[in-house]
Amino acid sequence: MISTERIQPNLVTVADMDAEDAIDLIHEAQAYKAGKQAFLKAPAYAVNLFFENSTRTKTSFQMAEHKLGMQVLEFEAKTSSTQKGETLYDTVKTMESIGVNVAVIRHPENEYYDQLLDHQLHTGIVNAGDGSGQHPSQCLLDMMTIDEEFGGFAGLKVLIVGDLTHSRVAHSNAMMLSRLGAQVYFAGPQDWYDPLLEKYGTYGDLDELLPHMDVVNLLRVQNERLTSAANEAFDAQGYHQRYGLTMARAAMMKPGAIIMHPAPVNRGVEIDSDLVEAPNSRIFTQMQNGVYTRMAILSRVLRYQGLM
């Protein structure tokens, strides 16, 4: 049961979420996974406003909304009036006007949600990823997966590997892992090292760190956020040899250590294709846990509105 002081109108970042808050959400997600049923007090409507591509997050939120008994409105950015110049605020205000209770939004602009929260809309805002800023639902499903595996976070060594600069997963996971008591390490190309992460962990050499880690959290190279020159210069094979989880590196992992990746996976770049479904890979467990985590997030917003 979520404590009443933790019921919030929106969920846009893990920056304003303490460890207890995250644990509350993880426990509710685990309860949903164990079969807890949700009951709405009145009809509730969701819309998923995705202005960046998505497979997992969008369908996973849709699944969570259906499992909670919500009605889900269709929206495609490419055929919406945003193509005629309508602002994000006017789009969300429209959703509020027609009776949408929760808008789940993915947008390329970092902290796009600030412009919406300034207006105190009745529609709850759930962030499904803002540029290179935050990916709170991915972060919480990753924390759920780690908690399920290890029964807690204290002293756990977690290595986040890859495109640290452009990854919203790196930013939200590093922040929350350190709050939960894990020891966070980073590895990846020097050009993609982000000094903003220094307060959460330690940067080091991949091959030196790897044998000591409990969790290896790989990141996708965010080609959509690189300049065209950087994309042209990117050597996928060279990256795989230097920073990818190869079969040789996987053999260096300690017994009981797990592989995580938010996906989509670029097989043969950040991870050898044969490791994606290795016995110690939790990549598809993460996706499964995503549905329950998103049910917990939506439930919190619906409780604030008195709908649950």
Residue 106: exposure state from Cβ atoms within 10 A (0-12, 13-18, ≥19): buried
Number of shown-chain residues binding ligand CP (CB under 6 A): 9
8 Å CB contact between 84 and 110: no
In whole angstroms, how close is the CB of 11 to ligand CP at the nearest point?
15
Residues 192 to 251: which contact ligand CP by CB under 6 A?
none
Looking at beta carbons only, is 54 or 246 nearer to ligand CP? 54
CB of 37 to ligand CP, least distance (A): 26
3-state SS, the chain, equals CCCHHHCCCCECCCCCCCHHHHHHHHHHHHHHHCCCCCCCCCCCEEEEEECCCCCHHHHHHHHHHHHCCCEEECCCHHHCHHHHCCCHHHHHHHHHHCCCCEEEEEECCCCCCHHHHCCCCCCEEEEEEECCCECHHHHHHHHHHHHHHHCCCCCCEEEEECCCCCCHHHHHHHHHHHHCCCEEEEECCHHHCCHHHHHCEEECCHHHHHHHCCEEEECCCCHHHCCHHHHHHCCHHHHHHHHCECHHHHHHCCCCCEEECCCCCCECCCECHHHCCCCCECHHHHHHHHHHHHHHHHHHHHHHCCCC
Cβ proximity to ligand CP: between 138 and 172 the closer is: 138
Give the nearest distance from C-beta 23 to ligand CP in angstroms.
22
- Min CB(249)–ligand CP separation in Å: 22
20 Cβ contact partners less than 8 Å away, ≥ 6 residues apart: 6
Among 20, 55, 155, 242, contact with ligand CP (rule: CB under 6 A): 55
Residue 138 found at the interface with ligand CP (CB under 6 A): yes
Site stretch for ligand CP (CB under 6 A), options 55-63, 183-191, 193-201, 230-238 = 55-63
Q: Is 54 in the site for ligand CP (CB under 6 A)?
A: yes
- Give whichever of 129 and 162 is closer to ligand CP, judged by the CB atom: 129
Q: Which of 13, 57, 134, 183 binds ligand CP (CB under 6 A)?
A: 57
Q: What is the nearest approach in angstroms of ligand CP to the Cβ of residue 59? A: 8
Site residues for ligand CP, 250-269, by CB under 6 A, read: 262-264
Nearer to ligand CP, 101 or 167 (CB): 167
Among 13, 14, 46, 56, binds ligand CP (CB under 6 A): 56
Residue 171 beta carbon to ligand CP: minimum distance, rounded to whole angstroms = 13
Nearer to ligand CP, 138 or 281 (CB): 138
Does 294 interact with ligand CP (rule: CB under 6 A)?
no
**In the bound complex, what is the minimum distance in angstroms from residue 292's beta carbon to ligand CP?**
15
Nearer to ligand CP, 55 or 115 (CB): 55
Could you list the residues that contact ligand CP (CB under 6 A)?
A: 54-57, 129, 138, 262-264
